[in-house]
Amino acid sequence: MSEDEAAIRRLIADYCYYTDASDPDRLCTLFTEDFAFTGVFGDRFGHAGMRALHAEGGDFIRQGRHLTLNSVIDIDGNAATGRSYIVVTTQAEQGVSIMFAGAYADRYVKVGGTWLFSARHIHAHPMETLG
């Protein structure tokens, strides 16, 4: 695995941890200023958009644990694309349950030596993203 791929995988993991910690300030450090977050939860743009998404998500975001799986990353210089499955779990009376399952289609850019998300699209049905 290249250094760049490892850095992007860390970026993806940090997204999950910062989301689960309900820390939109740290989460915004993972995105370019003009990024786009689009898909099943609506379209949000820039850091203000990400903060709004987390404020609106409330308990749904705070109760979940985000798991990103089977990431495939293609790097071309200082730009990259990726696709991953996403599963969000929560603790229920009967044990752990799945709150959401879907897939991400991502674009990344390397800025000042650091990989950031420039776009993240989320699908509700993983099979729609194959190909």
Per-residue pLDDT, 46: 92
State which residues of the chain have pLDDT below 70: 58-61, 126-131
3-state helix, strand, coil in the chain (%, to 5): 35, 50, 15
State the Cα–Cα distance between residues 36 and 121, nearest whole angstrom. Answer: 8
Closest CA to 82 of 112, 49, 119, 126: 119
**pLDDT at residue number 84:** 96
CB atoms within 10 A of CB 46: 16
Q: What is the pLDDT of residue 97?
A: 84
Per-residue confidence (pLDDT) for residue 60, from 0 to 100: 67
Ranges of each domain in the chain: 3-125
CATH entry, 3-125, from 3.40.50.1000, 3.40.50.20, 3.10.450.50, 3.40.50.2300: 3.10.450.50
> According to the model, what pLDDT value does residue 126 have?
54
pLDDT at 4: 98
Q: What is the pLDDT of residue 77?
A: 97
